[in-house]
Chain A
Amino acid sequence: MSERPIVVRGGHVVDPVNAVDTVRDLLLVEGRITRVAPEIDEVPDDALEIDARGLVVTPGLIDPHVHLREPGDEHKETIASGARAAAAGGFTAVVAMPNTDPPIDTPASVGYVLAAGRRAGAARVHTTGAISIGLRGERLAEIGEMVEAGAVGITDDGHPVMDSGLMRLAMEYSLNFDIPVADHPEDLGISAGGVMNEGLVSSRLGLRGKPNGSEDIHIVRDLIVAEFTGAHLHLQHVSTAFGVEMIRQAKARGVRVSAEASPHHLLLTDAAVEGYRTEAKMNPPLRSEADRAAVQEGMIDGTLDIIATDHAPHHYDEKEQAFDDAPNGIVGLETALGLVHTHFVRTGRISLSTLVERMSAAPARAFRLDGGTLSEGAPADLTLFDPELSWTVDPSRFLSRARNTPFGGEELVGAPTMTIVEGRIVFDGR
């Protein structure tokens, strides 16, 4: 690294891995954190001084569930635009999903994503590889070679693995490579044709519903397979109360499972679909108030140990359609920190330290990423944010190519100020 050293002074450093939650200075040299101390006097002559007084300084946030749409759907997002959106949202790393067109199911395509991510020069771009060739759920993809090429996990996200036998093989095979097997839990037989949560709202709107059971069945199946194979299961975007409870029980039994809560499942219910609002259409769907409460409780107690956005960009033409025809998903990278900070930290439901645990330390552990901590010697990946800054979500200002969010116009408190990746400032919102 030819970057100048950086010294970050006087910020409120929150680093749960090292039980730090106080004012510290940090010195970043050659892409690494070289010193963390109450006051750092000796710094290299050419060091860049950053005044972080009044700001919170955390290990860089990591979003382990994003759709960057490249290759194939660059009109929605590119790896570069997604990496810049991530940096603007305070994320220093993202994990891309492989359901692109063509899918990421070979070592060559893993290499393509990683190279494009490096070229973007914003947040770090990691990627998962597909579980099955073509995401077809039939035969295992070349998982070992994809891991050698840099894949940090496997998933057929968006295409639930319907064959339990294939899921068993994927989990067993994953043990050789120490990677998580991530699953979008959904029984497509039960959810067939559904476009929103099944409940009173769907009955009234005349929209076809996906019952909780379609998700619950696969959560339970995946937990069972993880338990007898001993593999690391990573459950994506858990949205049901029963699912949360099953994960809680499995963790108590010692099953190796990590699980995501998304900001939208933490904050919204299927009432947001009223008026056929396609920006509230996602999969899994927004569910009932009881489910939302259970997802919140699970996130707070750590059953759902990770907050992940499921950033899913779409072009506005695609969302500007009849509800049945609009695609699933919302963007999340540029709203996640503000939403979680406003609705959970400022309300006292979680501490800043827990926010960092859920949005940095835990995702780093789950995907074995270097980071998630401000230890000396760790990568110089930092997020600085202003915990008092009030702002209004304005999708037209997103760096993402897409604007599809149900949170437009929301008043939030807490916004990223600066994002540093490998000792380099990749976003500066000062």
Chain B
Amino acid sequence: MASALGKDLVGLEYLTRDQIVSILDTAEPFKEISERRIKKVPVLRGKTIVNLFFEASTRTRVSFEFAEKRLSADTVNISSNGSSVVKGETLVDTARNLEAMKIDMVVIRHGSSGSARFLAERIPSNVINAGDGRHEHPTQALLDLLTIRDHRGAIGDQRVCIVGDVLHSRVARSNIHGLLKLGAEVAVCGPRTLLPRGIEEMGVRVFNRVEDAIEWADVLNILRLQLERMEGGYVPSLREYNHIWGVSSERLAQAERELLILHPGPMNRGVEIDSDVADGPHSVILHQVTNGVAIRMAVLYLLAGGSPETAEAAKGGVEA
């Protein structure tokens, strides 16, 4: 069954503006399910979903699992620890074996860029990319977009700056594609050792100084600085990183407008983001997490053949 999104969700690069908007719109009615006393609707009853996680993940995996279970799907979690993956089975063979057990969808997280697409091209099940290497993490960007829209009413008139390790970030790439398609202005800011060469050609501005980014932006999406980046020599020390690129309330106080603060988590408090910012009035970080479940429900529902128009009816009315 061809869904409104096609067979798979591999990345926002491959979606149209209208498809992205329809996912955001579909997520709206699904938000309410998680507010109910009994958080379960029969939208995906009888569907079998495999969560195939080759990389450690807590937030994304749990968020997908909640979304699947609240839509009544049957789920199986496979992580690289203790699975046949560590016994040397190839990705193709793992997928084909799962496929042979008659499944409907695979949610995949993998350390290699392109792995979600690789899988999608080789199995008939719907494939949802939950993060492939440095390529894309589309549901994260979608929940970021939904959160910006919730707070600002629209996305097209916003200036969004992604701050930090863009080079290694799939979140950054998905956000850039999604934001540009929805008409936002996009910038990146961070040490040049952590920005991909030629990033300007993707249609984004580059700020060397976080002060300049703060002055320009309406929204900051602050990326996690992974500790191995320091060990890899990309930045001299976490202390210096915080000193030069850390987002602090002092820096935010210099801005003329009130910035919306997003962070895909998990945070390194005191490195890329100071605690008073993370916990401050402009932080919508926990709202992002809440929206994550609704976005993933919307994606699952649409890939299963649901239409945006009938989402409200499909999940049943608002609980009395």
By a beta-carbon cutoff of 8 Å, the part of chain A in contact with chain B is 198-200, 202-209, 211, 275-276, 317, 320-325
Decide: A323 near B197, CB < 8 A? Known: A206-B133, A206-B173: no
Our pick among B92, B136, B202 for the contact of A203 (Cβ within 8 Å) is B202
A203–B134 Cα gap in the complex (Å)?
Answer: 9
CA distance A199 to B197 in the complex (A): 6
A198, A211, A276: the one contacting B118 at CB < 8 Å is A276
B133 touches A324 (CB 8 A): yes
CB atoms of B113 and A207 under 8 A apart? yes
| Chain B nearest Cβ from A21, distance in angstroms | 46
Inter-subunit contact A320/B170 (CB<8 Å)? no
Residues in B neighbouring A320, C-beta threshold 8 A = 90, 92
Does A203 lie within 8 Å of B91, measured CB to CB?
Answer: no
Let me know if B170 and A209 touch, CB within 8 A: no
Q: Nearest CB to that of B169 among chain A residues?
A: A206
- Closest Cβ–Cβ distance, residue A244 to chain B (whole Å): 21
Q: Kindly list chain B residues whose C-beta atoms are within 8 Å of the C-beta of A204.
A: 13, 173, 202
- Interfacial residues of chain B within 122-140, with CB under 8 A of chain A in the complex: 132-136
A-B contact pairs, 26 of them (CB 8 A): A198-B198, A199-B197, A200-B198, A200-B201, A200-B202, A202-B196, A203-B196, A203-B197, A203-B202, A204-B13, A206-B114, A206-B133, A206-B134, A206-B135, A206-B136, A207-B133, A209-B197, A276-B114, A321-B91, A322-B114, A322-B118, A323-B112, A323-B114, A324-B112, A324-B114, A324-B133
The reply to whether the CB of B47 lies closer than 8 angstroms to some CB of chain A is: no
Q: Are B197 and A207 in contact (CB under 8 A)?
A: no
Q: Tell yes or no: B199 within 8 A of A by CB.
A: yes
Residue positions of B touching A, CB distance < 8 A: 13, 90-92, 110-115, 117-118, 132-136, 170, 173, 196-199, 201-202
Task: Decide: B90 and A203 in contact? CB cutoff 8 A.
Answer: no
Neighbouring A residues of B173 by C-beta, 8 Å: 204, 206
Residues of A within 8 A of B114 (CB): 205-207, 276, 322-324
CB atoms of A211 and B197 under 8 A apart: yes
**7 shortest interchain CB distances as A-B pairs:** A276-B114, A206-B135, A322-B112, A206-B134, A203-B196, A206-B113, A324-B112
* Contact with A199, one of B90, B112, B198 (Cβ below 8 angstroms): B198
For residue B118, which residues in chain A have a CB less than 8 angstroms away from its CB? 276, 321-323
Highest count of chain B CB atoms <10 Å: which of A198, A202, A276: A276
A141→B129 CA distance, assembly (Å): 49
Q: Which residues of A sit under 8 angstroms from B197, Cβ to Cβ?
A: 198-199, 203, 209, 211
Q: State the CA gap A321–B54 with chains docked (Å).
A: 14
Out of B91, B110, B113, B199, which one reaches A205, CB within 8 Å? B113
Give the docked Cα–Cα distance between A321 and B90 (Å).
Answer: 8
Which residues of A are found within 8 Å of B115, using beta-carbon distances?
A: 322
Cβ of B93 to closest chain A Cβ, rounded Å:
10
**CB < 8 Å: which of A198, A199, A211, A276 contacts B117?**
A276
Task: Provide the bound-state CA to CA distance between A211 and B197, in Å.
Answer: 9
A199 to B113, CA, bound (A): 16
Residues of A within 8 A of B117 (CB): 275-276
- CA–CA, A200 to B92, complex, Å? 28
* A189 CB, min distance to chain B CBs, angstroms: 11
Query: B135: which A residues are within 8 A, CB to CB?
Result: 205-207
Chain B residues near A322 (CB, 8 Å)? 91, 110, 112-115, 118, 133
Complexed CA–CA distance, A337 and B111 (Å): 39
9 further A-B contacts with Cβ under 8 Å, apart from A206-B132, A211-B197, A276-B114, are A200-B201, A203-B196, A203-B199, A204-B202, A206-B133, A322-B113, A322-B114, A322-B115, A323-B112
Residues of B within 8 A of A323 (CB): 112-114, 118
Q: Are A317 and B202 in contact (CB under 8 A)?
A: no
Q: How far is the CA of A369 from the CA of B61 in the complex (A)?
A: 61
Contacts of A324 in B (CB 8 A): 111-114, 133
Nearest CB in chain A: distance from B24 CB, A = 23
Give bound CA distance, A207 to B133, whole Å: 8
- The residue in chain A whose Cβ has the minimal distance to the Cβ of B115 is A322
A186 to chain B, nearest CB (A): 18
Report Cα–Cα, A325/B91, bound state, in Å: 11
